Structure 1
């Protein structure tokens, strides 16, 4: 096939692109100590397969305490940190599909 370009015409192409993202807002509301506690709990739960009571004992052995009250991290608190941290990760890392609409081609003669 042979295409001949004629300078008397211009092809105009227009469309609407919709992009949704969760990356435009501040995503890290944890301070360094909170992030370290969550990362440790996540590792012990997902990689080593420990339950919340054993994680609580392990954190006590490591000398980790709660951020605000500086108390021992009991199993129910460990569960809460893990659950809310996973919800937070899912919210931050969710993905959206880009959407292209109103596609138009026009051939304009000069």
Structure 2
């Protein structure tokens, strides 16, 4: 949970947002967001999606920052058209496995 707290605070500050402004963008109260950033409230998939949108990140990028540096996030500029589909499928399978592990790990906490 410590990494989540530190990361959310860092991402919020990078976007030059106060907790109140971020809470407003998420459609929740300041108190509710404060609990999220303090690690007192678990993040559900909808909230993660909303945070990714506010921080201008993809969902895999946000999960990478919050949970696991080993998650692979492909750079679309490095994928050739010829191998695009094969590589994309392989990466998606790998990300699904990583996400399943992260969800199982999070469920234990």
Q: Same fold (TM over 0.5)?
A: no
Normalized per residue, which structure has more strand?
Answer: 1
Q: Whose helix proportion is higher, 1 or 2?
A: 2
Q: RCO greater where, 1 or 2, for CA within 8 Å and sep 6 or more?
A: 1
